[in-house]
Amino acid sequence: MRTKSLILAAPLALAFLPLPFLALPEARAQTAIPDTIVTATRIPTEAERVPAAVTVLTRAEIEERGYQSLTEALSAVPGLHMVQAGGLGQQSSAFLRGTASRQVLVLLDGVPLNDPAEANGAFNFGNELLGDIERIEVVRGPASALYGSGAIGGVINLVTRRAPAGQPMQVFGDLAGGSQATARGTLGVAGNQGGFNWLLAGQGLTSQGSDATPRRFAADTKETESFRAGAATARLGWASGDGTLVEGLLRWRENRIELDNVPNDDPNYTGNDRRWYGQLRGETALLEGAWTTGLRLAVTEDRRRYLNLPDAGSSASTDDLYRGQRQTLDWGNRVRLGDLGVLRDAGLAFGVTHERESVDATSGSPFFRTVTNATARSTAVHSGVQARLGERLDLSAGLRQDLAEDYDGFLSWRAGAVLAVPEVASRLRLASGTAFKAPSLYQRFGRIGSFFQGNPDLDPETSFAWEAGIETDVPVFGRSDGATLSATYFDIRTRDLINFNRSFSSLENIEKARSQGVELGVTLRPAPWLQARASWTVTEARDETTEAPLARRPRNVVAFNARIAPLPRLVVAPEVLFTGPSPETAAYDDAGNFVSGVTYNKAGTVLNLTATYQVTPAVAAYVEGRNLGNSRWEPANGFVTPGRSLLVGSRFVF
């Protein structure tokens, strides 16, 4: 394979990230996160010692770069390719290191969010706004040893805002409007006093949207697809001075969208997507703080409905309703072992996770009706250790046994190391591990009329992956880290992939795939007022049986962004996203005719630019321009990227 020539001579990275059910670190509204990574053990770790390939987007970066949706925020992450079928609110999928979208797990404060009612268990990234998100953590590589099913390509954790420490009350907000009849607003109030902390926040967005149908289609009517969204978050907590805390979180989000069919516009195809999420969490410190134990209960309810009545363009009708629920109960523990012989800063994490998933869904036309009504339970036992050997080597390992009531369980593991080489200002990393994706409830129990029945005997999709990498600081521009160069090689083999049998009457574990690639990065700091970052991801993802390229995995993806502060109060943040030709296995020609076999979407480049001026210490004004080149690039065949847009707004924090 061609990318093998780029295999690194050094190792990359780790493995065990502590357990998702433990207390997440506090995040302050409107406050930048230091240059450390704080895992679920609440142990701050210097970024260069973190034994994982991790990208963290802070609240400050989200605002300075003008990200208003989760899809926009993730588009520049190395190794992560986002595919959205249109604009805001439209279906958006993530392909992480060449794995399928269903093999990427999304968490909210450490709790899985993937909707059980989605046919493949995939997550729709197009629905999530960011008004109540403090930071986003992306962990690349297998993470089932920590998070269980779905973490083959990696994990994306959304960390919600918290009340700022030491402030009895803080009010924050954001108001913007602009092209495509777009209006956006966020308003929140939070406080921390006498051991109690609380937060209330609401956000909304309305937009006329843009035409998702390519102009190359003769039948394009230039109809736009509107988007309406609302969300609210409430948090209340209490913490004592001896390490005991109790906390509750309630989050609601609802979107109303207009949709299109391919290759024609559809004037009355609409969707409604609603999620309720709630959690109760408590933890306490034992043995003078050496042992922390915690319990968490979380419930997620998703409801999606899609309606399409007959019209002049089509006599077909659709009335799809998906209802999914996930209940999670976690007991987690963290023990600080201290120094053990030659090992320093040793830590142990262990616990038990129990999940219950249920789905009640009906979709499709009356003659092709898909029905899924099922419930499943699973229990997992997991543990992990981490320590430093000597002054240079950080080691970690994790192990998890998932037990399910209606499919074979899976034993997943991950191990890794980070070696510091200060003589050349470098960090070397090496990691490997296994992961799995459980068959979805639809894949096991769904049915279509009398001619299709899910397969309750399906095995999980499984993977083995390893990665190796290096990061080096170069002394230029008058500072020891004037430039930082990084490179990571990854290799992922997946087995028992689920697909239709030959008669299309059920599903089987019949496919296998391999994804290899290199993530290259450079960060330049030529002046105190200028920092620029660029990444280039090369991916080769193929079906190992047919050698055909996997759909929607472009070979080349390049991202560039910068933070330019030419004046004390002004920050300018340009962003350029380039995606090379992307393979498709289902496409349409310019006449709107279906084309079978492998075709390629053309390459595309999108230019975004955001400028922020700090009017006062509490008030900032900004301008956000997206797709300034008005690219008509198609991330998915038959759907173009949204056209040029401009928003003007102001944010404040008092």
- Say which residues have a Cβ less than 8 Å from residue 426's Cβ, sequence separation at least 6: 10, 420, 470, 471, 472, 473
Supply 2's token pair: 């061609």
pLDDT score at 37: 53
Instruction: Report residue 15's pLDDT band, with 50, 70 and 90 as the boundaries.
Output: very low
pLDDT score at 508: 96
Residue 539 to residue 99: CA distance in whole angstroms: 10
Q: Could you give the 3-state DSSP secondary structure of residue 322?
A: strand
pLDDT score at 355: 96
**Nearest CA among 546, 479, 494, 492 for reference residue 518:** 492
Supply 93's token pair: 């999928």
To the nearest 10°, report the CA torsion of 296, 59, 334, 348. Answer: 130
Peptide bond preceding 267: is omega within 30 degrees of 0, i.e. cis? no
Looking at the DSSP bridge assignments, the partners of residue 173 are 187, 652
pLDDT score at 107: 94
Q: Is residue 289 part of a domain?
A: no
Mean pLDDT of 137-151: 92
Does residue 41 register a pLDDT over 50? no
Burial call 632-641: b when 16+ CB within 10 Å, e when fewer: ebbbbbbbbb
Q: Is residue 483 part of a domain?
A: yes
Span 117-130, pLDDT tens digits? 999 999 999 989 99
Mean pLDDT of 453-477: 96
Q: Could you give the 3-state DSSP secondary structure of residue 294?
A: strand
Does residue 438 register a pLDDT over 70? yes
Residue 187 to residue 173: CA distance in whole angstroms: 4
Residue 603 to residue 468: CA distance in whole angstroms: 29
Q: Is residue 292 part of a domain?
A: no
Q: Is residue 526 part of a domain?
A: yes
Instruction: Report residue 33's pLDDT band, with 50, 70 and 90 as the boundaries.
Output: very low
**Nearest CA among 307, 450, 302 for reference residue 365:** 307
Does residue 468 register a pLDDT over 50? yes
Low-confidence winner among 26-30, 56-60, 92-96, 352-356 (lowest mean pLDDT): 26-30
Mean pLDDT of 101-113: 94
pLDDT score at 4: 38
- The number of folded domains in the chain is 1
- Amino acid letter, 33: I
pLDDT score at 368: 84
Q: Is residue 276 part of a domain?
A: no
Span 227-273, pLDDT tens digits? 999 999 999 999 987 889 999 999 999 999 998 878 877 788 899 99
pLDDT score at 312: 74
Distance of CA 112 to the CA centre of its chain: 11
pLDDT score at 437: 97
Instruction: Report residue 424's pLDDT band, with 50, 70 and 90 as the boundaries.
Output: very high
Q: Is residue 451 part of a domain?
A: yes
Mean pLDDT of 189-193: 95
Q: What distance separates the 2 farthest-apart alpha carbons in the chain?
A: 78
Please tell me which residue, 22 or 83, carries the higher pLDDT value. 83
**Nearest CA among 620, 627, 628 for reference residue 64:** 620
The number of C-alpha atoms within 13 Å of 76 and in the hemisphere containing its C-beta is 28
Residue 378 to residue 405: CA distance in whole angstroms: 6
Span 469-511, pLDDT tens digits? 999 999 999 999 999 999 999 999 999 999 999 999 999 999 9
- Say which residues have a Cβ less than 8 Å from residue 72's Cβ, sequence separation at least 6: 66, 626
Q: Is residue 283 part of a domain?
A: no
pLDDT score at 5: 36
Residue 238 to residue 53: CA distance in whole angstroms: 34
CATH number of residue 191's parent domain: 2.40.170.20
Mean pLDDT of 38-60: 69
Q: Is residue 281 part of a domain?
A: no
pLDDT score at 108: 94
Q: Where are the alpha helices (DSSP H) in 244-290?
A: none
User: Whole-prediction pTM value?
Assistant: 0.92
pLDDT score at 220: 80
pLDDT score at 314: 72
Residue 435 to residue 95: CA distance in whole angstroms: 16
Residue 352 to residue 371: CA distance in whole angstroms: 33
The boundaries of the domain holding residue 447 are: 2-265+297-312+325-653
Distance of CA 28 to the CA centre of its chain: 21
Averaged confidence pLDDT in the chain: 89
Supply 278's token pair: 């709630």
pLDDT score at 45: 60
